[in-house]
Amino acid sequence: MATLKPILLVEDNPKDLELTLTALERSQLANEVIVARDGAEALDWLNYSGPHKERFEADPAVVLLDLKLPKVDGLQVLEHIKKTDVLRHIPVVMLTASKEERDLVRSYELGVNAFVVKPVDFREFFKAIQEVGMFWAILNEPHPPRPRGEPMKVSKA
């Protein structure tokens, strides 16, 4: 049986973080949820750098990515993932409160797999997170794992 890939949750808002973790937990997903509270921490985790140099060798099943983040914003994280050869296969779901068309358009231009506006209503938010988690962690067939130490080539395109 294959090892379950973790879910990388990148969220800086403590309330949204708590709600998202609770919704994923109640979905009874067995996947570990890795939390990054800013874009720089997410990039360190994805790139095996900084404090995550020795982390477990599995890319995430999905990255649940907030748009408005400290240090490095969600669009910059998304761009890095989709321009880095060994990361571009990782599904990224933008989870944001932003309803701005330019954020939606730019996310899709950069290669986001899905763009989910966080519902204001608690029950709707909870349901949306559970559905996103179930789809990407269970139903989606993931890309095969990359070998550790594979070079992190970034495309110029």
Indicate if the pLDDT at residue 76 is higher than 70: yes
Domain span including residue 21: 7-139
What Å distances lie between residue 108 and 13, 78, 101, 138, CA to CA? 23, 10, 11, 23
Per-residue pLDDT tens digits for 126-146 = 777 777 776 666 556 666 666
Do the domain assignments include residue 47? Answer: yes
Indicate if the pLDDT at residue 114 is higher than 80: yes
Per-residue pLDDT at 157? 52
What's the whole-model pTM score?
Answer: 0.82
Domains identified in the chain, total number: 1
Per-residue pLDDT at 104? 92
Q: Which of 78, 86, 89, 82 is nearest to 148 (CA)?
A: 86
Do the domain assignments include residue 25? Answer: yes
Per-residue pLDDT at 120? 66
Of 46 and 2, the structure prediction assigns the larger pLDDT to: 46
Q: What's 132's domain CATH number?
A: 3.40.50.2300
Do the domain assignments include residue 146? Answer: no
Do the domain assignments include residue 132? Answer: yes
Do the domain assignments include residue 145? Answer: no
Do the domain assignments include residue 30? Answer: yes
Do the domain assignments include residue 157? Answer: no
Do the domain assignments include residue 152? Answer: no
Per-residue pLDDT at 1? 42
